[in-house]
Amino acid sequence: MIKLFILTTLLLINLNAFGFETAKNNKFEDELSAVPKISNNFTFNFPDIKLVDQYYQPVELSQMFGHEKNIVFAFFFTQCISICETITLSIHSIKDSLPPNTQIAMISIDPNTDTPEILNTYAENHRISDPNWKLLTGDKMQIIKLQKNFEAYRGNKMNHSTSLFIKKAYSNTISEITGGFSIIPQLLTNPIQTSLSKIEKVE
Protein backbone atom coordinates (compact mmCIF):
# COMPACT_ATOMS: atom_id res chain seq x y z
CA MET A 1 0.00 0.00 0.00
CA ILE A 2 2.79 2.41 0.91
CA LYS A 3 4.62 1.55 -2.28
CA LEU A 4 1.48 2.19 -4.33
CA PHE A 5 1.00 5.55 -2.59
CA ILE A 6 4.59 6.59 -3.36
CA LEU A 7 4.26 5.57 -7.01
CA THR A 8 0.97 7.44 -7.33
CA THR A 9 2.49 10.56 -5.77
CA LEU A 10 5.50 10.45 -8.11
CA LEU A 11 3.18 10.00 -11.09
CA LEU A 12 1.13 13.05 -10.09
CA ILE A 13 4.26 15.15 -9.63
CA ASN A 14 5.51 14.16 -13.09
CA LEU A 15 2.14 14.89 -14.66
CA ASN A 16 2.05 18.33 -13.02
CA ALA A 17 5.60 19.06 -14.20
CA PHE A 18 4.71 17.96 -17.72
CA GLY A 19 1.60 20.13 -17.67
CA PHE A 20 3.59 23.18 -16.51
CA GLU A 21 6.27 22.64 -19.16
CA THR A 22 3.65 22.25 -21.88
CA ALA A 23 1.83 25.41 -20.74
CA LYS A 24 5.12 27.33 -20.63
CA ASN A 25 6.08 26.21 -24.14
CA ASN A 26 2.61 27.06 -25.45
CA LYS A 27 2.89 30.53 -23.87
CA PHE A 28 6.29 31.00 -25.49
CA GLU A 29 4.95 29.98 -28.91
CA ASP A 30 2.01 32.38 -28.49
CA GLU A 31 4.30 35.32 -27.64
CA LEU A 32 6.69 34.56 -30.48
CA SER A 33 4.12 34.05 -33.24
CA ALA A 34 1.43 36.52 -32.16
CA VAL A 35 0.56 39.55 -34.28
CA PRO A 36 3.39 42.04 -33.65
CA LYS A 37 2.21 45.03 -31.63
CA ILE A 38 3.87 48.25 -30.56
CA SER A 39 2.01 49.46 -27.51
CA ASN A 40 4.24 52.48 -26.80
CA ASN A 41 6.96 54.59 -28.36
CA PHE A 42 9.33 56.54 -26.14
CA THR A 43 11.94 59.18 -26.90
CA PHE A 44 14.39 58.66 -24.13
CA ASN A 45 18.09 58.87 -23.32
CA PHE A 46 19.22 56.34 -20.73
CA PRO A 47 20.23 58.01 -17.47
CA ASP A 48 23.60 57.58 -15.77
CA ILE A 49 22.41 54.68 -13.63
CA LYS A 50 25.17 52.39 -12.39
CA LEU A 51 24.22 48.73 -12.31
CA VAL A 52 26.11 45.44 -11.91
CA ASP A 53 26.01 42.51 -14.33
CA GLN A 54 26.10 38.76 -13.76
CA TYR A 55 29.91 38.82 -13.96
CA TYR A 56 30.14 41.27 -11.02
CA GLN A 57 31.20 44.03 -13.42
CA PRO A 58 29.90 47.60 -12.93
CA VAL A 59 27.83 48.88 -15.83
CA GLU A 60 26.83 52.44 -16.66
CA LEU A 61 23.51 52.09 -18.41
CA SER A 62 23.91 55.14 -20.64
CA GLN A 63 27.28 53.88 -21.86
CA MET A 64 26.24 50.26 -22.40
CA PHE A 65 23.16 51.38 -24.35
CA GLY A 66 25.21 53.70 -26.52
CA HIS A 67 23.65 55.69 -29.32
CA GLU A 68 25.37 53.60 -32.01
CA LYS A 69 23.96 50.30 -30.71
CA ASN A 70 20.79 48.38 -31.34
CA ILE A 71 19.12 47.49 -28.06
CA VAL A 72 16.78 44.73 -26.91
CA PHE A 73 15.90 44.81 -23.22
CA ALA A 74 13.33 43.61 -20.75
CA PHE A 75 12.50 43.67 -17.06
CA PHE A 76 12.49 40.37 -15.17
CA PHE A 77 13.39 38.64 -11.89
CA THR A 78 15.07 35.28 -11.40
CA GLN A 79 12.47 33.68 -9.11
CA CYS A 80 9.74 34.17 -11.73
CA ILE A 81 9.03 30.82 -13.39
CA SER A 82 6.33 31.85 -15.86
CA ILE A 83 6.49 35.24 -17.62
CA CYS A 84 10.25 35.61 -17.23
CA GLU A 85 10.85 32.16 -18.65
CA THR A 86 8.89 33.29 -21.71
CA ILE A 87 11.03 36.43 -21.97
CA THR A 88 14.25 34.41 -21.78
CA LEU A 89 13.07 31.83 -24.33
CA SER A 90 11.93 34.60 -26.69
CA ILE A 91 15.31 36.31 -26.58
CA HIS A 92 17.07 32.99 -27.17
CA SER A 93 14.87 32.38 -30.22
CA ILE A 94 15.80 35.66 -31.93
CA LYS A 95 19.34 36.18 -30.63
CA ASP A 96 21.20 34.64 -33.56
CA SER A 97 19.19 36.73 -36.06
CA LEU A 98 19.92 40.09 -34.41
CA PRO A 99 22.40 42.52 -36.01
CA PRO A 100 25.93 42.09 -34.59
CA ASN A 101 25.93 45.45 -32.79
CA THR A 102 22.88 44.58 -30.68
CA GLN A 103 23.09 44.86 -26.89
CA ILE A 104 20.68 42.62 -24.94
CA ALA A 105 19.83 43.33 -21.32
CA MET A 106 17.48 41.84 -18.75
CA ILE A 107 17.11 44.18 -15.78
CA SER A 108 16.03 42.69 -12.47
CA ILE A 109 12.99 44.24 -10.78
CA ASP A 110 13.87 42.34 -7.59
CA PRO A 111 17.44 43.58 -7.04
CA ASN A 112 17.40 42.84 -3.30
CA THR A 113 17.19 39.13 -4.14
CA ASP A 114 18.93 39.12 -7.50
CA THR A 115 22.55 39.62 -6.55
CA PRO A 116 25.25 39.19 -9.21
CA GLU A 117 25.79 35.66 -7.88
CA ILE A 118 22.10 34.81 -8.35
CA LEU A 119 22.13 36.35 -11.84
CA ASN A 120 25.21 34.33 -12.72
CA THR A 121 23.46 31.12 -11.64
CA TYR A 122 20.40 32.09 -13.69
CA ALA A 123 22.62 32.71 -16.71
CA GLU A 124 24.25 29.29 -16.33
CA ASN A 125 20.90 27.53 -15.90
CA HIS A 126 19.47 29.27 -18.98
CA ARG A 127 22.57 28.94 -21.21
CA ILE A 128 23.16 32.68 -21.40
CA SER A 129 26.79 33.02 -22.43
CA ASP A 130 26.76 35.72 -25.13
CA PRO A 131 28.91 38.65 -23.87
CA ASN A 132 26.37 41.06 -25.38
CA TRP A 133 23.58 39.62 -23.20
CA LYS A 134 23.73 41.18 -19.75
CA LEU A 135 21.67 40.41 -16.66
CA LEU A 136 21.63 43.53 -14.51
CA THR A 137 20.90 44.44 -10.91
CA GLY A 138 21.41 47.52 -8.77
CA ASP A 139 19.66 50.08 -6.60
CA LYS A 140 15.96 49.26 -6.28
CA MET A 141 14.70 52.86 -6.40
CA GLN A 142 16.72 53.63 -9.52
CA ILE A 143 15.33 50.54 -11.25
CA ILE A 144 11.77 51.50 -10.25
CA LYS A 145 12.37 54.95 -11.72
CA LEU A 146 13.64 53.33 -14.90
CA GLN A 147 10.54 51.12 -15.11
CA LYS A 148 8.29 54.15 -14.68
CA ASN A 149 10.03 55.88 -17.59
CA PHE A 150 8.80 53.03 -19.80
CA GLU A 151 5.40 52.68 -18.13
CA ALA A 152 6.51 49.21 -17.01
CA TYR A 153 6.14 49.68 -13.25
CA ARG A 154 3.20 47.76 -11.82
CA GLY A 155 3.94 48.13 -8.09
CA ASN A 156 4.19 44.37 -7.71
CA LYS A 157 6.86 42.18 -9.26
CA MET A 158 4.29 39.40 -9.80
CA ASN A 159 2.32 41.70 -12.10
CA HIS A 160 4.81 42.65 -14.78
CA SER A 161 4.40 42.20 -18.52
CA THR A 162 6.15 40.08 -21.15
CA SER A 163 7.10 43.13 -23.23
CA LEU A 164 10.43 43.48 -24.96
CA PHE A 165 11.77 46.97 -25.62
CA ILE A 166 13.90 47.79 -28.67
CA LYS A 167 15.90 50.74 -29.97
CA LYS A 168 17.49 50.94 -33.39
CA ALA A 169 21.04 52.26 -33.60
CA TYR A 170 21.35 56.05 -34.00
CA SER A 171 17.74 56.54 -32.95
CA ASN A 172 16.30 57.90 -29.70
CA THR A 173 12.99 56.10 -30.19
CA ILE A 174 12.40 53.09 -27.96
CA SER A 175 9.46 50.87 -28.85
CA GLU A 176 7.63 48.47 -26.57
CA ILE A 177 6.85 45.20 -28.37
CA THR A 178 4.04 43.20 -26.75
CA GLY A 179 3.84 40.23 -29.12
CA GLY A 180 5.25 38.74 -32.29
CA PHE A 181 8.84 38.93 -31.10
CA SER A 182 10.09 37.05 -34.16
CA ILE A 183 9.89 40.32 -36.15
CA ILE A 184 12.38 42.13 -33.88
CA PRO A 185 15.49 41.24 -35.97
CA GLN A 186 13.73 42.67 -39.02
CA LEU A 187 12.87 45.86 -37.15
CA LEU A 188 16.50 46.35 -36.18
CA THR A 189 17.85 45.55 -39.64
CA ASN A 190 15.48 47.32 -42.00
CA PRO A 191 14.55 51.01 -42.09
CA ILE A 192 12.38 51.48 -39.02
CA GLN A 193 9.60 53.36 -40.85
CA THR A 194 9.10 50.54 -43.36
CA SER A 195 9.09 47.88 -40.69
CA LEU A 196 6.71 49.64 -38.35
CA SER A 197 4.09 49.96 -41.06
CA LYS A 198 3.61 46.20 -40.88
CA ILE A 199 2.83 46.25 -37.17
CA GLU A 200 -0.42 46.88 -35.39
CA LYS A 201 -0.14 50.02 -33.27
CA VAL A 202 -2.05 49.72 -30.01
CA GLU A 203 -3.65 52.99 -28.99
Q: Could you give the CA distance from residue 55 to residue 52 in angstroms, rounded to a whole number?
A: 8
Strands 102-108 and 70-76: parallel
| Secondary element (H or E) of residue 56 | none
> Tell me: the pLDDT tens digits for 53-67?
999 999 998 888 888
Best mean pLDDT range from 113-122, 173-182, 193-202: 113-122
| Amino acid of residue 137 | T
User: pTM of the prediction?
Assistant: 0.77
CATH homologous superfamily of 2-201 equals Glutaredoxin (3.40.30.10)
Neighbours of 81 (CB within 10 A): 9
Q: Could you give the CA distance from residue 148 to residue 155 in angstroms, rounded to a whole number?
A: 10
> Tell me: the pLDDT tens digits for 17-60?
433 343 344 444 554 445 667 778 888 767 778 999 999 999 99
